[in-house]
Amino acid sequence: MVISGQVAFVNLTEHEIFDGASTGKYSIVLTLDDENAAKMEAQGVKLRNYEGSQQRKFASKFDVPIYELNGDEFMGTITRGSEVRVQYSLSQEHPRFGITPYLDKVRVVTLADSATDGDF
């Protein structure tokens, strides 16, 4: 399965840190448009509303392959606001948490400019 979205948070080169410790997972959080949000909800995946936008986190315990739009290996850092396509698979349904989307691959469609101030 594939979904498109805008990068809100990204941890694909090192594991996430929670409460000062590694979670052992790589992850990406996407902001989804209405069409992609509806697609995820129809699959039983719960979304998070953040400042009026629907978001979903995709995670993996394994290194995640990242590709350019042309299929070449992506070299660099995915920046916040970049447009990406994520290939994912779904877990079995959990009674409390719903269905978890597992991160399989990422394809960078458009790389956003870095948010760092030029005078930094």
**pLDDT tens digits along 50-89:** 999 999 999 999 999 999 999 999 999 999 999 999 999 9
Give the model confidence (pLDDT) of 10-57 as tens digits: 999 999 999 999 999 999 999 999 999 999 999 999 999 999 999 999
Note if the pTM is more than 0.85. yes
Contact 60, 102 (CB under 8 A): yes
Report the amino acid identity of residue 42. A
Contact 45, 32 (CB under 8 A): no
Which two structure tokens, joined as six digits, stand for 95? 């009674």
Which two structure tokens, joined as six digits, stand for 70? 């042309």
**What pLDDT is attached to residue 97?**
76
Helix (H, G, I), strand (E, B) or coil at 120: coil
Phi and psi angles of residue 40, each rounded to the nearest 5 degrees, phi first: -65, -45
120 pLDDT above the threshold of 50: no
